[in-house]
Amino acid sequence: MKKKVITAFLTLTMAVSLAACGSGSTTDTAGNDAGADANAGDDAAADQDKDAADDKAAEDNAGNPDDAQGSGQADGNTDSDMAYVKDKGTLVVGITDFAPMDYQDENGEWIGFDADMAKAFAQSLGVEVEFITIEWDSKIMELEGKTIDCVWNGMTLTDEVLSAMECSDPYCSNAQVVVVPADVAEQYQDQESLKDLNFAVESGSAGEKQAATLDLSYTAVQDQATALMEVASGTCDAAIIDSLMAAAMVGEGTGYEDLTYTISLNSEEYGVGFRKGSDLAAALNEFFAASYEDGSIKTCAETYGVQAALIQQ
């Protein structure tokens, strides 16, 4: 009987202890769950605060174009050709051998009306000038590839040039003329008389365009100076070149005294070409206007005998 009483007492005590343990475990789990919920709430609040801060920063940057521009310049990206040229300190000018606009003196220095004006423009920008001879029919590719910064070489403002480049205002008038040996010049005084001749023309030039338009037989050569050599040597019957070059390069007192020019095939204007969208074109227009006003462009033109072709700025 006594054993039964003790056994019953122990059984009751274990039951009470187990109940107490179960109650404590439930409380701890609930507490842990509550803590996790609180932590999750804190994390969500932190994420919301961060998102709000990021949104505000984005709005501030969008509202401040100077900051965005500064970031782009820090990466080396800028739409300003002026800034690009000033940063590298050199204006690179694409040319061909084309007297009286661009040619070399006895010391190998590039001179001429265009060359001298390019030097003056570069000086006004506070940079040096560098001249690079180019293949004329590759001039657009040279510009876009940034091998050169401009084409300044008695360039006719054709539709192709105007659509592919940012061009200055015209500064000289010009025409494409026919050059033949002086002893046969009387035979070639109109377009009809030209149909049986074989012409030398500069590849990609306004002269080549005229030859093609008139359905003339022609050979494309490197530049206009080479075209004159072809006629002088008898390889070609005639050449089509710029009137300004013809006036300076053929006839009495020149290196081609046995050649002369006869008829004009068109009328055209010269301009300087920059990369499309370049801000240097507007800067050059201002420079031309100032040079015309102070007379320096006229003085330069007189040095090279092209003053009659100047266009008022």
DSSP string, 9-47: HHHHHHHHHHHHHHHHHHHHHHHHHHHHHHHHHHHHHHH
Residue 79 is predicted with a pLDDT of 76
Residue 223 is predicted with a pLDDT of 95
- Distance spanning both ends of the chain, measured CA to CA: 133
Q: Which residues of the chain have pLDDT under 50?
A: 1-46, 50, 53-54, 56-77
Name the β-bridge partners of 103.
111
Interacting residues of 287 by C-beta distance below 8 A, sequence separation 6+: 120, 121, 124
Nearest to 239 by CA among 212, 206, 199: 199
- Per residue in 105-138, is it b (16+ CB within 10 Å) or e — as a string? eeeeebbbbbbbbbbebbeebebebebeebebee
Q: Is the pTM of this model over 0.75?
A: no
Q: Distance between CA 95 and CA 92 in Å, rounded?
A: 10
Residue 1 is predicted with a pLDDT of 44
Q: Distance between CA 52 and CA 244 in Å, rounded?
A: 68
- Per residue in 225-241, is it b (16+ CB within 10 Å) or e — as a string? bbbbbbbbeeebbbbbb
Q: Distance between CA 152 and CA 162 in Å, rounded?
A: 14
Residue labelled with tokens 């050979």:
219
Strands (E), the chain: 90-95, 103-104, 110-111, 128-133, 150-156, 166-167, 172-174, 176-181, 198-202, 217-221, 238-242, 259-264, 268-274
Name the β-bridge partners of 199.
218, 238
* 223 in Cβ contact with 137 (< 8 Å): no
Residue 20 is predicted with a pLDDT of 41
- Tokens linked to 147: 């091998």
Q: Distance between CA 176 and CA 25 in Å, rounded?
A: 104
